[in-house]
Amino acid sequence: MRDGGGVYHRQTMASRRPTRTPLGGAKRRQLGVVDYTLAKRALLRDAHIGVLNSTDICDAHPELIRAAKHVGEETRNDCPVCGREKLVLLAYVYGDTLKQENGRVWSIATGLRMAAAHPGSSCYVVEVCRGCSWNHLRESYSARRSAVV
């Protein structure tokens, strides 16, 4: 297929599908997603050019490091700051209807399921380096409220 002078191959474009979340299609559509990749790139750029130093960006709270050690799910990605360790993902879920479960750390799959099951709640996915204490909000998922008809 030709579009605006570029040639696009069906096989090449098919490989650019987003990775699947642990939820099924119906549940996934119930969540609004915000990706914080651009904010992360800007922060890392500022550190690279010297506007920020490593102590400014590697400031994870000890409780966050502890949660990363015991609950976190290791990724294939190296830490963008130190490069020595793999990043770990954590999910924090907040919502009025969660009661005693509100604000707790969960595995990614559990956090997304909880957010999808409770309209008005949110699941925040944080990436953490256990070595240098880098941490950054990676994505947030918000459960959409059903429209009243």
pLDDT class for 117, splitting at 50, 70, 90? confident
Residue 30, pLDDT > 70, answer no
Distance CA 3, CA 9 (A): 11
87-113 pLDDT, tens digit per residue, is: 999 999 999 888 888 989 999 999 999
Calpha distance 4→15 (Å, rounded) = 21
